[in-house]
């Protein structure tokens, strides 16, 4: 058993394109759930829409690679709008059901033979990265050292993915520190309280869904840059992996999803290399194929203790959520105020004007009239 090869293969996932793609998609999911409180189980659909938008625009419409990527990002924003209009008014659990169903619908649409001319059906799409590779600024050769040794094409994918990730993190960091981000965190904590302040909760949720969807589409584009678009990659397991990454790194943090993606893929790659090697050496009473199956069980057991370490794994009230605090305090004051029944105000009492002395001389007494 070659321990050096095992550790080298594991360390290579620290800067692999798949780790960067998952970090981007998890960052978009953090915008949805960590800051907006949207229980989105359809992030795989955003990645698929971004990847297919890029590949179809290049292969079918002969668009340049940069325009194809912009079309893929726009497709992610459009899908967020179409998904959010009928679903954002649903309750949290129904929203989760609707989003996971929409992800399966998108995957089946890309798999069907009806759109085989554009999507390639179950075989997917390939050979669409020629324009991207031609824009490679690195001359041919090998770069790096140890497990981080790349060819010029591989280095270009990694550098481009890291640049997209840095831009996305800067965007999220700027948004959550703005008044828009404070309103969004207030909606996450108490939606009714924010609505009582006159904020359009539906519009803020829609904006968060679109922003996170665009970042998820960027992750889908980076995901297919080294190889091809295969519809079988965008199953529900992809979404569940992203949820593990978000909860592992911290849902209400900016850099937490990136750290979660690195930790998740390093542990998964280590188990994927270690268990078959142990089975081949006879240290495990199973075959190498059986050992590769149980890796997800051991990955879950390994990550469960690490889940309790970060303090921001769940979205909690943090410093700066003053909008929600003010609204909640105002609502509590209104509720605790004693109710007084409305009473009709008494009618004003008519005041008699005093008679003038001259008029009193001619006043006739009742006694004189009887006589």
pLDDT value of position 61? 92
The share of the chain scoring above pLDDT 90, in percent, equals 53
Summarize pLDDT for 280-330 with one digit per residue, the tens.
877 878 877 777 778 778 777 766 766 565 444 444 444 444 545 555 554
Find the mean pLDDT for residues 323-338. Answer: 51
The share of the chain scoring above pLDDT 70, in percent, equals 81
pLDDT value of position 334? 44
Summarize pLDDT for 98-153 with one digit per residue, the tens.
999 999 999 999 998 888 889 988 889 999 999 999 999 999 999 988 888 899 99
Find the mean pLDDT for residues 233-238. Answer: 91
pLDDT value of position 318? 47
Find the mean pLDDT for residues 334-358. Answer: 56
More reliable by pLDDT, 164 or 333: 164
Summarize pLDDT for 11-68 with one digit per residue, the tens.
989 989 999 999 999 999 999 999 999 999 999 999 999 999 999 999 999 999 999 9
- How does the average pLDDT of the chain come out, rounded? 84
What pTM, to 2 d.p., does this model score? 0.81
Instruction: For residues 263 and 307, give the distance between their C-alpha atoms in angstroms, rounded to a whole number.
Output: 11
Dig out the tokens for 157 from the structure. Answer: 């994918």
Ordered by where they begin, the domains of the chain are: 3-331 (1.10.3470)
């Amino acid at each position: 058993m070659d321990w050096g090869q095992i550790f080298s293969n594991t360390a290579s996932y620290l800067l692999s394109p798949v780790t960067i793609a998952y970090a981007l998609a998890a960052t978009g999911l953090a915008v949805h759930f960590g800051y907006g409180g949207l229980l989105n189980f359809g992030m795989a659909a955003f990645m698929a829409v971004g990847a297919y938008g890029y590949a179809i625009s290049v292969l079918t419409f002969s668009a340049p690679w940069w325009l194809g990527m912009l079309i893929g990002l726009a497709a992610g924003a459009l899908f967020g709008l179409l998904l959010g209009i009928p679903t954002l008014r649903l309750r949290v659990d129904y929203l989760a059901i609707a989003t996971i169903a929409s992800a399966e619908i998108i995957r089946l649409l890309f798999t069907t033979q009806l759109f085989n001319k554009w999507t390639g059906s179950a075989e997917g799409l390939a050979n669409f990265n020629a324009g991207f590779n031609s824009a490679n600024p690195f001359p041919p050769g090998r770069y790096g050292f140890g497990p981080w040794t790349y060819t010029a094409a591989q280095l270009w994918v990694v550098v481009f993915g890291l640049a997209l990730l840095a831009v996305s993190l800067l965007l999220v960091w700027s948004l959550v520190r703005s008044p828009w981000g404070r309103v969004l965190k207030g909606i996450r904590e108490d939606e009714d309280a924010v609505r009582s302040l006159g904020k359009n909760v539906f519009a803020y949720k829609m904006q968060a869904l679109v922003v996170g969807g665009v970042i998820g589409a960027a992750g889908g584009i980076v995901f297919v840059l080294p190889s091809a678009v295969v519809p079988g990659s965008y199953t529900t397991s992809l979404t569940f992996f992203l949820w593990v990454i978000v909860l592992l790194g911290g849902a209400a943090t900016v850099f937490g999803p990136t750290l979660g993606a690195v930790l998740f893929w390093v542990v998964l790659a280590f188990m994927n290399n270690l268990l078959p090697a142990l089975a081949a050496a006879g240290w495990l009473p199973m075959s190498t194929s059986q050992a590769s199956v149980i890796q997800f069980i051991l990955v879950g057991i390994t990550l469960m203790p690490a889940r309790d370490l970060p303090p921001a794994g769940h979205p909690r009230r943090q410093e700066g959520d003053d909008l929600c605090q003010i609204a909640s305090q105002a609502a509590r004051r209104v509720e605790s105020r004693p109710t007084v029944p409305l009473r009709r105000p008494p009618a004003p009492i008519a005041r008699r004007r005093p008679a003038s002395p001259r008029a009193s001389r001619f006043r006739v007494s009742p006694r004189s009239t009887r006589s």
